[in-house]
Amino acid sequence: MINLAGRDVLHGWGKFLFTGIGLGLLIGATLTMAGVFRGMVDDGQVLIDNSGADLWVVQQGTLGPYAEPSSIRDDAWRGIAGIQGVAETGNAAYLTIQMAHAGKDTRVMIVGIEVDRPETGGRPGAPPYLTAGRPILQGHYEAIADERTGLALGERVKIRRHDYTVVGLTRRMVSSSGDPMIFVPLKDAQEIQFLKDNDALVNERARTAANPAFNRPGIPGLLEAAQASVSQARSVNTVLVRLAPGADAEAVAGEIQRWKRLTAYTKAQMEDILVAKLIATSAKQIGMFLVILAIVTAAIVAFIIYTMTLAKVREIAVLKLIGAKNRIIAGMILQQALALGVIGFLVGRIAAGLWGPAFPKYVLLLPQDALSGFAIVMTICALASSVAIRAALAIDPAEAIGG
Amino acid sequence: MDRLDNPPAICLTGLKKRYGTGDAAVDALKGVDMTIWPGEVVGLVGPSGSGKSTLLKCLGAVIEPTAGRMELAGEVIYDDAWKIPDLRALRRDRIGFVFQAPYLIPFLDVTDNVALLPMLAGQDNAAARKRALELLTALDVRHRAGAQVSQLSGGEQQRVAIARSLANHAPVILADEPTAPLDSERALTVVRILNDLARQYRTAIIVVTHDEKIIPTFKRIYHIRDGRTHEEAGEGRAI
Ligand SMILES: Nc1ncnc2c1ncn2[C@@H]1O[C@H](COP(=O)(O)OP(=O)(O)OP(=O)(O)O)[C@@H](O)[C@H]1O
Ligand SMILES: [Mg+2]
């Protein structure tokens, strides 16, 4: 028996291929959507992994430092470092700013890290690997930038009040919302984050100076001390904790919470916050979109196959007249629907791979997603063809004869 | 001769067909009797709307009659109800169809259009194509065997359609105005081919026609008017 589906497709292959490509672009959009979601999850994962921390200690009762604001004293680490099982601590400050660079406005996350121990690979929070350059050695105005910021080694970049020199580059260091990171010394980050701008500072100083309480006769230096204490930043967002080998994360976290009036999260809990809580709404958003795209794809495939079948009413009537079984006719339509699905999927996968890197945020195309995508596409095509098959089986062989 | 040792290829008794119901009902056939022997080419003529196509469709198991009896080569296929379960297999194996417009499958080439029938009946591709080429040779379109259907002339298409109707050795061929789109010379060629095939393969052929040029070629003609037939001797003129 010859393959009727194949012969029909070959007879009008241009049209068939064109339709398949159109469908493919739609499938490509769907795969990309799934890739965007995977990218978001992966960004969160990478953020957690690359921080080099086993515990995140944050302001009591907050989901900090990524999902909620958290502020703790920058000497809180002293108490934490003394707890059994803690190997190393690192203060870290995070803030997202809009950075003007090379005529473009880029959203970046400034990460303040402790830079006192570059020789041991830095404290927790420092980038775990550099693609170029060196770690931050100076206490001020040096930066390590993620490659996606577009910054080059040795370049100088203005962040708020000061210019920073890019001494190192790193890769895949992004915030939970996908913004590339710039690492700077903690003191600089604190200044950027907690210091007020000049006007606010001048205003506040004037207010303090005008306060009679700070101007008591006979207490020289009181005003100056008060001024210094308000204008100095003493907060960080989190203390990152690296555990000693064999230490139980849950136990240490419990210890920190009990004694320090702070909240401590383990890696698993942080993952839950970042992946489950922080992007939960986006995930639903994308899930919704995927469902709609699947329905649209199904509708389009059904429509295409239905139209292709209706264009063959006469041929199908002749086939029935000369004795072709329903199985042969249904098989012809089903095979064409599946072939369309295969073309569409291949085109879609290639398209997604081509345009994925052009997306501003990370698009992660997982083979298992492609595989389930393929299965879904084939199922949709098979289901969609049933409409056309029903129509074909209802065709009257008498139509082949006419009057 | 056939009439003595073989049953008629086609035998209709009191065949009726009513389209629709109630006020909209049309009685297209009101009791048709007809007997056709193997090897015969019989004309079926009548005014438009007299029920010619309806008769062929009933006989070809394409539509269901309302009442009466139909026999093919002695086997009762209809007696107020279908007497065989698989009408498609009946059409595939025992009826050849030739229509006014020779509906070939456009996405198959000439050979496969003919070979499709034996393939549907379960023959392997090589045997089916061999059979197709034999028939194309017999019908003088062998040289177009590899062509696309759309590249054939009307007469060539009609001959391919006839080849297809013969592909499964059907004992009965039903031809509904097979010469309508052809000029008189080609029309006569088609009729000559049908006569040759009837003689060669003992096929019973019914040709519905309005065509004045070919009516004189039939030895026997059934006239149909108002849903009833009556038989008449034709001139049986040689072509
Ligand atoms: N599917 C149908 N439904 C209802 N009435 C029909 C149908 N097919 C045919 N008829 C009617 O049955 C009668 C016979 O029609 P038929 O097609 O058999 O005529 P015909 O002899 O082939 O005519 P023509 O020479 O014009 O082809 C006509 O009155 C026609 O209107
Ligand atoms: Mg007719």
Mind listing the pLDDT tens digit for each residue in A128-174? 889 999 999 888 899 999 998 989 999 999 888 889 999 999 998 98
CA–CA separation, A317 vs A324, rounded Å? 10
CA–CA separation, B34 vs A228, rounded Å? 120
Chain centre distance of CA A19: 33
Which amino acid is located at B18 in the chain? R
* A373 and A308 in a common domain: yes
Q: Is the CB–ligand 1 distance for residue B209 below 6 Å?
A: no
Task: Classify the C-alpha dihedral B53-B59-B60-B61 as positive or negative.
Answer: positive
Domain span at residue A181 reads 60-194+237-261
CA–CA separation, B124 vs A317, rounded Å? 23
Helix (H) or strand (E) holding B41: strand B41-45
Residue range A327-386, pLDDT digits in tens: 999 999 999 999 999 999 999 999 999 999 999 888 999 999 999 999 999 999 999 999
Phi and psi angles of residue A261, each rounded to the nearest 5 degrees, phi first: 55, 40
pLDDT at B60 over 70: yes
Shortest CA distance to A397 belongs to which of B205, B58, B83? B58
Ligand 2 centroid to Cα of residue B231, in Å, is 19
Burial of B57-77, coded b for 16+ CB within 10 Å and e otherwise, reads bbbbbbbebbebbbbbbeeeb
**Residue boundaries of the structural domains of chain B:** 37-62+86-233
**Long-range Cβ contact pairs of A148-155 (< 8 A, separation 24 or more):** A148/A174, A148/A180, A149/A99, A149/A101, A149/A106, A149/A108, A149/A180, A149/A182, A150/A101, A150/A102, A150/A104, A150/A106, A151/A101, A151/A182
* A245 and A118 in a common domain: yes
Q: Is the CB–ligand 1 distance for residue B57 below 6 Å?
A: no
* A82 and A157 in a common domain: yes
Ligand 2 centroid to Cα of residue B109, in Å, is 28
Atom of ligand 1 nearest to the CA of B54: 18
CA–CA separation, A63 vs A376, rounded Å? 37
Contact between A110 and A159 (Cβ < 8 Å): yes
Specify the residue with its C-alpha closest to ligand 1, atom 16. Answer: B51
Q: Does A398 touch chain B (CB under 8 A)?
A: yes
Higher pLDDT, A43 or A202: A43
Q: Closest-lying ligand to the alpha carbon of B51?
A: 1
CA–CA separation, B147 vs B156, rounded Å? 11
> In a mutagenesis test of the B interface, which of A309, A316, A321 is the best target, namely the one with the most B β-carbons within 10 Å?
A321
Q: Which residues face B76 on adjacent strands?
A: B71
* A151 and A14 in a common domain: no
In a domain, A83, yes or no: yes
* Residue A228 pLDDT level (bands cut at 50, 70, 90): low
Task: Name every chain A residue with its beta carbon within 8 A of the beta carbon of B88.
Answer: 320, 323-325
Amino acid A193: pLDDT: 76
pLDDT at B1 over 70: no
Q: Does A330 touch chain B (CB under 8 A)?
A: no
Verify whether the Cβ–Cβ distance B57 to A401 is below 8 Å.
yes
Pick from A4, A328, A400: which is nearest to B103 by CB? A400
Query: β-strands B26-36, A142-146: how paired?
Result: unpaired
Q: B139 by DSSP, 3-state: which?
A: coil
CA–CA separation, B142 vs B164, rounded Å? 13
* A372 and A289 in a common domain: yes
Q: A101 by DSSP, 3-state: which?
A: strand
In a domain, A332, yes or no: yes
CA–CA separation, B165 vs B173, rounded Å? 7
* A34 and A101 in a common domain: no
CA–CA separation, A314 vs B41, rounded Å? 28
Q: Searching chain B, which residue's CA lies closest to the CA of residue A322? A: B92
Pick from B57, B89, B92: which is nearest to A398 by CB? B57
Residue range A13-51, pLDDT digits in tens: 999 999 999 999 999 999 999 999 899 888 888 889 888
In a domain, A244, yes or no: yes
Q: Is the CB–ligand 1 distance for residue A402 below 6 Å?
A: no
Longest dimension (CA), chain A: 121
Q: Which residue has the tokens 């990524």?
A: A66
In a domain, A29, yes or no: yes
Distances in whole angstroms, Cα of residue A229 to Cα of each of A195, A208, A322: 12, 11, 98
Q: Closest-lying ligand to the alpha carbon of B54?
A: 1
**Domain boundary residue among A227, A261, A295?**
A261
Pick from B56, B92, B105: which is nearest to A318 by CB? B105
Most confident of A227-231, A293-297, B12-16, B232-236: B12-16
Burial of A281-315, coded b for 16+ CB within 10 Å and e otherwise, reads eeeeebeebbeebbeebbebbbebbbebbeebebb
* Residue A105 pLDDT level (bands cut at 50, 70, 90): confident
In total, how many domains does chain A have?
A: 2
Q: Searching chain B, which residue's CA lies closest to the CA of residue A325? A: B88
A129 DSSP assignment: -
* A95 and A182 in a common domain: yes
Q: Closest-lying ligand to the alpha carbon of B28?
A: 1
Amino acid A403: pLDDT: 65
Q: Does A315 touch chain B (CB under 8 A)?
A: yes
Verify whether the Cβ–Cβ distance B106 to A11 is below 8 Å.
yes
Pick from B91, B92, B112: which is nearest to A2 by CB? B112
Write the class of the CATH domain B37-62+86-233. alpha beta
CA–CA separation, A324 vs A340, rounded Å? 24
* A340 and A249 in a common domain: no
Ligand 1 centroid to Cα of residue B19, in Å, is 9
Helix axes A367-393, A326-355, angle to 10 degrees: 150
Verify whether the Cβ–Cβ distance B176 to A401 is below 8 Å.
yes
Q: Does A400 touch chain B (CB under 8 A)?
A: yes
Q: Is the CB–ligand 1 distance for residue B179 below 6 Å?
A: no
Distances in whole angstroms, Cα of residue B182 to Cα of each of A175, B158, B189: 78, 9, 10
Atom of ligand 1 nearest to the CA of B57: 18
CA–CA separation, B232 vs B234, rounded Å? 6
The interface predicted TM-score of the complex, written ipTM, equals: 0.90
Ligand 2 centroid to Cα of residue B133, in Å, is 31
In a domain, A85, yes or no: yes
* A300 and A244 in a common domain: no
CA–CA separation, B116 vs B161, rounded Å? 12
> In a mutagenesis test of the B interface, which of A2, A315, A322 is the best target, namely the one with the most B β-carbons within 10 Å?
A322
Contact between A235 and A71 (Cβ < 8 Å): yes
* A155 and A20 in a common domain: no
In a domain, A300, yes or no: yes
**Long-range Cβ contact pairs of B82-88 (< 8 A, separation 24 or more):** B87/B61, B88/A320, B88/A323, B88/A324, B88/A325
CA–CA separation, B69 vs A121, rounded Å? 99
Pick from A10, A324, A402: which is nearest to B99 by CB? A402
Q: Searching chain A, which residue's CA lies closest to the CA of residue B178? A: A401
Q: What is the average pLDDT across B49-75?
A: 94
* A32 and A144 in a common domain: no
Verify whether the Cβ–Cβ distance A322 to B97 is below 8 Å.
yes
* A384 and A256 in a common domain: no
Q: What is the average pLDDT across B23-36?
A: 94
Which amino acid is located at B151 in the chain? Q
Q: Searching chain B, which residue's CA lies closest to the CA of residue A318? A: B103
Q: Does A228 touch chain B (CB under 8 A)?
A: no
* A residues 20-59 closer than 8 Å to B (CB): none
